[in-house]
Structure 1
Amino acid sequence: MNTTLETKVSIETHGCKLNQADSGKLALQFIEAGFKLVEIGQPTDIYIVNTCTVTHIADRKARRSLRSARRQNPKATIVATGCYVDRDAKALSAIPEIDIIANNANKATLVSEIIASQGDGFVSCTLGTDQIPINLNTIKTRASIKIQEGCDQVCAYCIVPKVRGRERSIPANEIVANINKLETIGYKEIVLTGTQLGTYGFDITGGPNKLHLLIEHILENTTLARLRVSSIQPQEINSELLRVWENPRVCPHMHIPLQSGSNRILKLMRRRYTRDEYLSSVEIVMSKFSEFSITTDIIVGFPEESEQDYEDTVDVVNRVGFSKLHVFPFSVRPGTTAAHLTDQIASSVKSVRVNELIRLGDEKSRAHQKQLIGKIRPVLWEGRKNRKWIGLTDTYVRVCLSDERDLYNTISRVLIEEESNGYLNCLLAE
């Protein structure tokens, strides 16, 4: 007779923080059911790929991972879930290496489906929260929690509304319960995640029904050390929302997607702000907080993007000085408006622009790092690499420290000394 206590599970996650949140929830459900969670690359009995479909490259990566999982684990149950399944389950059904296909809606019952797939003699051994092993290698220092899902904005390039559905919020008390459970297990930082965080609560009657009210509710009802907000649209930034960042438990960092610095392209994309409105939102944030990091996403080579449109984006990057850029070449997604636009940009042109923006982003990131030298910041230590501790500041900057003590999953105040190979070297300040 086999039991979950003898069964190993691996979860490979592709794409956004929303997928990371889903995988984190799945991981906890598997652990609570008695399964042993193992790292990718170790022998396993069940291999899950939580797919992304935001670009054709993401699709290709998912297919490659699923086939590789079968080669490395010939007798394992191979599972495909996530957004690729919602977009094109038929294509995935044609891949013989896959045993189970589950869309986003069916993630909630995936553990039960897998248990059922193991046969009548398979026994589930449920664990309580107090029995969950805290020191599992797969338990990290930071966890993403989904507070909202779906999108009603239907940007021209984006497949997310089709694969994640309409906007819907998770009640505040359920979110707080999830955070308290993760804090009990050992997590020190929670990242609030969703497709459109700024619209949180529009569908909730009673209780916190706006993002700033939810954050205040979390701060009042948990003892969590650090709370981070994953992504905010520029048009959703206001004084009420910014007020919660005055609490030192809320990390002084925002991810504010730009996508393009050209008004013409923003309009074609159906983004709900202009270049000047974006810059104004950033200025409001930076004028209120002296030490703050802003990261962003940019899509390069959207149909009809001229050289001037691209230069407008470069200009915004120079004006803002983002601490980190995520640069993506435009990818045609079947079923989106942009897929029908005729003036597609040549791949060679997109490649040049992407590489230029990545280099510029690296310059801005280094400039931001240099501004931190000589300052003291709190750091959450995530692990060791080359005999140095690697950690993340509250402002979302990687730092490293030479120290023989066990700092894993602790928060320390550090003095930042110098930049080296993309990291900031530091000393403990206490």
Structure 2
Amino acid sequence: MNEEQRLQSVQVKGPEPDRKVEKDYSKYFQSVYMPPSLKDAKKRGKEQVSYHKDFSIDEEFRNMGVGRKFYIRTYGCQMNEHDTEVMAGIFMELGYKPTDTAQDADVILLNTCAIRENAENKVFGELGHLKQLKTENPDLLLGVCGCMSQEESVVSKILKTYSHVDLIFGTHNIHRLPNILHEAYMSKEMVVEVWSKEGDVIENLPKSRLRKTKAWVNIMYGCDKFCTYCIVPYTRGKERSRRPEDIISEVRHLAAQGYKEIMLLGQNVNAYGKDIEDLNYRLGDLMDDLRHIDIPRIRFTTSHPRDFDDHLIEVLAKKGNLVEHIHLPVQSGSNDILKIMARKYTREHFLELVAKIRAAIPDVSLSTDIIVGYPNETEEQFEETLSLYREVGFEMAYTYIYSPREGTPAAKMKDNVPLEVKKDRLQRLNAVVNELSFEALKPYEGQVVEVLVEGESKRNPDVLAGYTRKNKLVNFRGPKSAIGQLVNVQITEVKSWSMNGEMVEVVNLEVKV
């Protein structure tokens, strides 16, 4: 550990067996944290990203996990799921074995999400439940990682209330997991290692893929957009793009392993490449290169309307293995609310972008994110969101009631829309979402669709489930050998959010996406 890293790592000491934590935590956080600050974060410069391709497990840690099991519970987005795959890969390199139950584990990690208060409350509730396991097994290591760990207030609460936690580390410290585990074992102290340092990209990290059909591939990290409601720029840091050759190599390797679908991940995925000053290469260029790899489907999430350029649209229109589904979060249909959110586009700009996409890809399926009940949102402004949703013709949406997140600019605004009004607006919005979803699925009835079979249905093990290129859920009966394969399914019934069908062998029928 170099001097900079040492200063950004802290161990909280206390007597055994009931550790007492000092009440004044500020001295720990001075070196560990850069508290969320919009003013400071917006000063992010163009400092060069450091790339590290030499990740390896130190020999002194190589057999640390032999005879031990690990369990990771993941909250939040696909980025968190992918982080879990990386941590699982590191655990297995250390000799640990995975387990499906916390009761059977020697190390438990909660990989956390900070995007909404409800997500944090779930984690705190789980920490309370896990105290009994720690009491029964004092050798158990209990850790908290992920986005919540990047928030000073969260770590303060853990130090004060959950002293049975053994280790806390942040989103920039995943590659340090062997060292952090070693410190936790050797010191018998609470280990807190959360870096506010940004700008590094670590390659060659081991991964234990959660799925065998679809794979997530990070192409960039962080976000520089600073929407007023969002904590991500503070918990995930500045935008940092991976080098294209590393991404292409990873996708080629996954294709060789038989994966059928790749999801490219980034907090603001279509800002890819903006930070690589020595290379004029953006998401459209990357997608164009990946288009030539022998893998059936490639998609990406999550995009921002401000960075959706004409070249990307031109490339997506070439189709092939580039699917006809785009997730394009709009958040609101009101210019006034979009301005308060600091989205930096207008309703008119968004509609113009949609028109460009539809002109190039007439059969495109669009989905979105929407927040209702934002501070100062009037009934008229909410109605603008409803009208935008219909005008665009979104086929699916993730909808949310606004709740303030500590550390964001919006948290300082007066949350002046009553909860009953927020709930009413959400219900009315969801009615429109359900209506348009059903309308989008209705034409599929009687048609044959290509389905990538993911596994058994969650509700019925005798039924298989998978998705079309446009990300439509299809349930059907078929042999278990179809799991992981692309099959043709004739749709027999359409519901609001899914379709039922029958697997067919006929391949010369018109197949819809």
Do both share a fold (TM > 0.5)?
yes
- In the alignment, structure 1 segments of 5+ residues that lack a partner are 121-128
Percent identity (aligned): 30
How far off is 1:5 after superposition? Answer: 4.8
| Structure 2 match to 1:363 | 435
Give the Cα–Cα distance (whole angstroms) in 2 for the partners of residues 184 and 37 of structure 1: 25
| Structure 1 match to 2:41 | none
One-letter amino acid matched to 1:77? L
Equivalent runs, 1:17-416 vs 2, <5 Å:
17-39=78-100, 43-71=104-132, 74-75=136-137, 76-88=140-152, 89-94=155-160, 95-114=162-181, 117-118=184-185, 138-206=210-278, 209-220=281-292, 222-245=293-316, 246-342=318-414, 344-385=416-457, 386=460, 387-416=462-491
Alpha carbons of 1:77 and 1:310: their partners in 2 closer, same or farther (altered >3 Å)? same
Alpha carbons of 1:17 and 1:304: their partners in 2 closer, same or farther (altered >3 Å)? same
Secondary structure (helix, strand or coil) at the match of 2:104 reads: coil
Does the 8 Å contact 1:172/1:217 carry over to 2?
no
Which runs of at least 4 in structure 1 moved beyond 6 Å after TM superposition? 131-134
| Structure 2 match to 1:6 | 67
Alpha carbons of 1:270 and 1:417: their partners in 2 closer, same or farther (altered >3 Å)? same
- In the alignment, structure 2 segments of 5+ residues that lack a partner are 1-62, 188-203, 506-513
Does the 8 Å contact 2:334/2:381 carry over to 1?
yes
How far off is 1:65 after superposition? Answer: 2.8
How far off is 1:13 after superposition? Answer: 1.7
Give the Cα–Cα distance (whole angstroms) in 2 for the partners of residues 49 and 181 of structure 1: 29
Secondary structure (helix, strand or coil) at the match of 1:358 reads: helix
Secondary structure (helix, strand or coil) at the match of 2:376 reads: coil
How far off is 1:164 after superposition? Answer: 1.4
How far off is 1:262 after superposition? Answer: 0.5
How far off is 1:69 after superposition? Answer: 4.1
Q: After superposition, give the CA deviation of every residue in 1:13-52 in whole Å (9 maximum; x if it has no partner).
A: 2112222222222223333444322335673222221111
Which of these two proteins has the greater Rg computed from alpha carbons? 2
Give the Cα–Cα distance (whole angstroms) in 2 for the partners of residues 180 and 118 of structure 1: 38
How far off is 1:232 after superposition? Answer: 1.6
Give the Cα–Cα distance (whole angstroms) in 2 for the partners of residues 115 and 378 of structure 1: 48
How far off is 1:423 after superposition? Answer: 2.5
One-letter amino acid matched to 1:92? I
Superposition RMSD on alpha carbons, in Å?
2.7
| Structure 1 match to 2:510 | none
What TM-score results when the alignment is normalised by the length of structure 1? 0.88
How far off is 1:117 after superposition? Answer: 3.8
The number of residue pairs the alignment matches comes to: 417
Alpha carbons of 1:180 and 1:97: their partners in 2 closer, same or farther (altered >3 Å)? farther
Does the 8 Å contact 1:24/1:144 carry over to 2?
no
Give the Cα–Cα distance (whole angstroms) in 2 for the partners of residues 416 and 32 of structure 1: 44
Secondary structure (helix, strand or coil) at the match of 1:296 reads: strand
Q: After superposition, give the CA deviation of every residue in 1:278-337 in whole Å (9 maximum; x if it has no partner).
A: 122122222322332211111111100000011111111122232211111111122222
Does the 8 Å contact 2:87/2:207 carry over to 1?
no
One-letter amino acid matched to 1:244? V
One-letter amino acid matched to 2:349? E
Give the Cα–Cα distance (whole angstroms) in 1 for the partners of residues 237 and 101 of structure 2: 30
How far off is 1:177 after superposition? Answer: 3.2
One-letter amino acid matched to 1:24? E
Give the Cα–Cα distance (whole angstroms) in 1 for the partners of residues 475 and 102 of structure 2: 26
Give the Cα–Cα distance (whole angstroms) in 2 for the partners of residues 270 and 145 of structure 1: 28
Secondary structure (helix, strand or coil) at the match of 1:261 reads: coil
One-letter amino acid matched to 2:465? I
Does the 8 Å contact 2:449/2:468 carry over to 1?
yes
Secondary structure (helix, strand or coil) at the match of 1:105 reads: coil
Give the Cα–Cα distance (whole angstroms) in 1 for the partners of residues 256 and 211 of structure 2: 12
| Structure 2 match to 1:425 | 500
How far off is 1:179 after superposition? Answer: 2.9
How far off is 1:101 after superposition? Answer: 0.4
Give the Cα–Cα distance (whole angstroms) in 1 for the partners of residues 207 and 355 of structure 2: 45
Alpha carbons of 1:10 and 1:293: their partners in 2 closer, same or farther (altered >3 Å)? farther
| Structure 2 match to 1:124 | none
Q: Which 10-residue stretch deviates more, 34-43 or 162-171?
A: 34-43
Q: Which 10-residue stretch deviates more, 233-242 or 148-157?
A: 233-242
| Structure 1 match to 2:26 | none
One-letter amino acid matched to 2:483? Y
